[in-house]
Amino acid sequence: MERRRVKESARRRLREFDVGDRFSRLPLPKASVLLPLTVRAGKLHLLLTVRAMQLRRSPGEVCFPGGKREAIDKDEIDTALREAKEEVGLQPEKVEVVCRLVDALLMNHVVTPVVGFIEDTFQATPNPDEVSDVFVVPLEYFVKPSNYKTLPYKTSSGYSGWMHCFIYDDHERKMSFKIWGLTAHFAVFLALVIFGKHPTFKVEYDLDNLISSAETNFMNLYASIYERKKSNL
């Protein structure tokens, strides 16, 4: 019963923030990630992966299941579900897709976060070519962390900013995970959407106008990169 209530309240909040295909036609290569929500001990948790060390990009980093769009994908949701199946053995029909949140930019790709509920009993089967580990984190950790810092960054095109960095100690498994950059950005936004409360650290949004400020941030970043690309042609 509690489980149903937790999911229903999250579902309602998420639907208010669904951007649908609003950003689908931006002329950049596409990638998608799945933000898989599951209820454990009455609380929402997010499932995350650790990238295999032999991958060319971001080896060993914490990431959501996801990847680049392929010609067979009909939309961003298809990409996220196909990649989640390839990487952690999640069957697409076992995911209740709820919404797409505001995109982000990474490595010249527009990355779409697709949010979906997965079964609470889901047992991942990581594909060792791409994923070395899978773990879950309580969603609340991304608004009330016990180990958090900000990290500065600068892209090769000269854009500079800062990013969130969480260290999550999984006491059961006696392991620590560093969750930062794009992955942390999506996890924080998801937690803000669902809990609707102020986090214990500074964020880049106007919390009274979360959706419009997230869209403005994205479009400003997109314009700064895309205008630069056009002027280099």
Ligand X SMILES: CCCC(=O)SCCNC(=O)CCNC(=O)[C@H](O)C(C)(C)COP(=O)(O)OP(=O)(O)OC[C@H]1O[C@@H](n2cnc3c(N)ncnc32)[C@H](O)[C@@H]1OP(=O)(O)O
By CB under 6 A, name the binding residues for ligand X.
31, 33, 55-58, 61, 63, 66-68, 83, 106, 109, 111, 129-130, 153, 163, 180-183
180 binds, among ligand X, Mg ion, none (CB under 5 to 8 A by kind): ligand X
The span from the CA of 182 to the CA of 57, in Å, is: 13
**Tokens 């669904």 sit on residue:** 18
Q: Does 67 bind Mg ion (CB under 5 A)?
A: yes
Q: Let me know the angle formed at the C-alpha of 101 by 111 and 40, rounded to the nearest 5 degrees.
A: 105
The span from the CA of 178 to the CA of 168, in Å, is: 6
The span from the CA of 162 to the CA of 188, in Å, is: 14
Q: Does 36 bind Mg ion (CB under 5 A)?
A: no
In the bound complex, what is the minimum distance in angstroms from residue 137's beta carbon to Mg ion? Answer: 19
55 binds, among Mg ion, ligand X, none (CB under 5 to 8 A by kind): ligand X
76 binds, among Mg ion, ligand X, none (CB under 5 to 8 A by kind): none
The interface region with Mg ion, picked from 61-69, 70-78, 139-147, 212-220 by CB under 5 A, is: 61-69
Comparing CA positions, the residue from 142, 137, 149 lying closest to residue 176 is 137
174 binds, among Mg ion, ligand X, none (CB under 5 to 8 A by kind): none
Closer to ligand X at the Cβ: 31 or 191?
A: 31
Closer to Mg ion at the Cβ: 67 or 199?
A: 67
Closer to ligand X at the Cβ: 31 or 102?
A: 31
33 binds, among ligand X, Mg ion, none (CB under 5 to 8 A by kind): ligand X
Closer to ligand X at the Cβ: 81 or 111?
A: 111
Q: Let me know the angle formed at the C-alpha of 49 by 45 and 55, rounded to the nearest 5 degrees.
A: 165
> What pairing do the DSSP bridges indicate for beta strands 62-63 and 104-106?
unpaired
In the bound complex, what is the minimum distance in angstroms from residue 129's beta carbon to ligand X? Answer: 3
In the bound complex, what is the minimum distance in angstroms from residue 164's beta carbon to ligand X? Answer: 10
> What pairing do the DSSP bridges indicate for beta strands 175-180 and 43-51?
unpaired
The span from the CA of 54 to the CA of 109, in Å, is: 21
| SS3 call for 29 | coil
The closest residue (CB) to Mg ion is 67
214, two tokens: 């997230």
112 binds, among Mg ion, ligand X, none (CB under 5 to 8 A by kind): none
Distance from first CA to last CA of the chain, Å, rounded?
58
Binding site for Mg ion (CB under 5 A): 67
